Structure 1
Amino acid sequence: MSEQIDDATLVERFPWVQITHDSKHLYAGWLDKKLLIDRCDDCSAYHHPPKPICPDCWSTNLTPTEVSGSGVVHLAMHLYQGAPAPDVDYSEGPHPVVAVDLEGVPGVRFSSTVIDCPVEEVEIGLPVELTWIERYGAPFPVFRPRTASRGGEGS
């Protein structure tokens, strides 16, 4: 789906998200299973969530930049209730949500859930990698524990 994606397609594919001019490239990247983080062309700072200007130097010269999504869990929470999602059943126990310090992207934390890991093993310091699930018929970024056999590469 690497062709230019129009606004109507983004709204159709992500009806639960408030898409703005500043965030539409993030969700267009998701359709290609790419995590795009804004990087300032003037001072090289990364920032997330998307903003119209660089919070470091106030430049408007920003480029959505693909990042690997590998990182380390900085914050871990176990939710016992929350918004409905097709792959979450709170009656089966807590649902893990994490904020991950992304490697090679200084100062940026990305939040999502962790899959392929018992909830009691989701903890601060856990090395993770980006992977994708389908949620409401669209790609959705999540994390899974990194293993030596996968070499730290997401799918």
Structure 2
Amino acid sequence: MGGRTTRQRKAVMRVLASCQDFVSAQELYARLVADAQSIGLTTVYRALRELEAAGGVDVVRDDAGGRLYRQRPAEGHRHYLICRCCGSSRPVDSEVVEQWADRIAAETGFAAVQHTVELTGLCAGCHTTTGEGEPPCRWEPAHQDNRGEPRSCAN
């Protein structure tokens, strides 16, 4: 991450590393405050922006267009399948997408091509609890599980 690695930035990285699913900047901020960290929301946004620029996080958008973050694994850029109901996420094999993006870049002469692929669906837990059609639950910024309980980053 560019710039100084301050106590606050280390705290953002620590909390983000404890999250298995994507989280918003506001969620990270709330978790940091609950953990008695002295930090401002602007600092959280700045740290996430720098992590994104450095390739340290994967970013997706929620239904409202908000940005959600997840620490990028050591093996690099990943694509995820995200549950529209509870927000749980799973990395998916995306080698075919990477090959396609590389081929398009080569064929068109473009350089530094970036891409975003977002896959959403219903996880097994949410699909089986709702039966047919879309489930009544919706993924809220507070990340609730399919019982309406808030999920923790450690889940």
Structure 1 length-normalised TM: 0.26
Decide which structure has greater helix share.
2
Q: Which structure has more strand as a fraction of its residues?
A: 1
- Greater relative contact order, per chain length (Cα 8 Å cut-off, separation 6+): 2
TM, length-normalised to structure 2? 0.26
